[in-house]
Amino acid sequence: MLDALTVAVAVAALALAAWCGFAFTRDQPTKDWHFIGMAVVTVLALAQLVTGIVQLARGEEAGEGTAIFVAYLLGALFTVPVAGFMSLTERSRWGSATVAAGAVVLAVLEVRLWDIWGGVDV
Amino acid sequence: MSEPNAVGRARLVQGPGMLLVWLYGVMSVGAVSRSVYQIATEYDRAPLAYTLSAVAAVVYAFITYTLFRGGETARKAALVCCAAELVGVLTVGTWTMADPSAFPDATVWSDYGLGYLLIPVLLPVTGIVWLRRSRRTAQA
């Protein structure tokens, strides 16, 4: 379950990065549809955080330690929303670039989360 | 490009500066949390590497703050720190390659920041370009 969510968040984040990167090349700021995309990615990250905490509560352990695991889950949850708020104050193509960069950062966090959990059991 | 903000300082966080401050913010959070965790839990394993990571964290946090603050003094301070950061990345990067045995564990700046997609070596260069351009547009 957790591994499936990790893959889902990573793929959604890369799609969001491509979409906002496209807006950047078209010289466009982030628009309503982009924010809906960010919301979808954020909901997935929230589901991942909840699932991760439930699995810890059930006695499962993250390979590299609980503290690092929870810290990365929280970081993954806040990355895209923070970038989204920054793009609200920067109504130019550079706001789109900021969200695209944030989505790439989230994808990298997901790769690290995969390693930290040490999981293969989908 | 030089419209003053509410407290009368020239804004640095606009246009490409927004992307820059975001990346510096991400590196700050990453480096600060990493070095706090490592120094708190396993400092004895690689004291040099963890101390260097902590230095990197302080530099990132300071640059993020100065970019947000804006103004000419902050711009100069950020410029100095970006130069220091570049020197740090190049020194530590070369050091980790020349003498890997001194580093039982990686630092933020190991191998020129390869573990962070080379962002640590690209960021100060971009930062210096942006900060220099900000001055030109402010004077124009």
pLDDT digits (tens, 9 = 90+) for A51-102: 999 999 999 999 988 999 999 999 999 999 999 999 999 999 999 999 999 9
Residue A90 C-alpha, separation from nearest chain B C-alpha, in angstroms: 7
Q: Is residue B22 part of a domain?
A: yes
Q: Is residue B11 part of a domain?
A: no
Cα separation of B124 and B85, whole Å? 6
CA A61: distance to chain centroid? 22
Cα separation of A112 and A76, whole Å? 10
Q: Give the count of domains, chain B.
A: 1
ipTM value: 0.91
Taking an 8 Å cut-off on Cβ atoms, the answer to whether A94 and B15 are in contact is: yes
Note down the domain range covering B96: 16-139
- Using a CB-CB cut-off of 8 Å, the residues of chain B touching A71 are 33, 37
pLDDT for residue B7 is more than 90: no
Q: Check residue B1 and give its pLDDT.
A: 46
Q: Check residue B6 and give its pLDDT.
A: 53
Q: Is residue B111 part of a domain?
A: yes
The per-residue pLDDT for range B34-55, each reduced to its tens digit, is 999 999 999 999 999 999 999 9
The per-residue pLDDT for range B78-88, each reduced to its tens digit, is 999 999 999 99
Taking an 8 Å cut-off on Cβ atoms, the answer to whether A97 and B19 are in contact is: yes
Q: Which residues of A74-102 are buried (b: 16+ CB within 10 A; e: fewer)?
A: ebbbebbebbbebbeebebbbbbbbbbbb
Helices (H) and strands (E) in chain B, counts: 4, 0
Residue B108 C-alpha, separation from nearest chain A C-alpha, in angstroms: 15
Cα separation of B37 and B120, whole Å? 20
Cα separation of A2 and A122, whole Å? 7
Cα separation of A55 and A68, whole Å? 15
Taking an 8 Å cut-off on Cβ atoms, the answer to whether A71 and B33 are in contact is: yes
Q: Is residue B7 part of a domain?
A: no
The per-residue pLDDT for range A17-48, each reduced to its tens digit, is 999 999 999 999 999 999 999 999 999 999 99
Q: Is residue B54 part of a domain?
A: yes
Contact status of A29 with chain B (Cβ, < 8 Å)? no
C-alpha distances (whole Å) from B118 to each of A32, A77, A109, B87, B123 are 32, 24, 15, 15, 9
Cα separation of B16 and A100, whole Å? 13
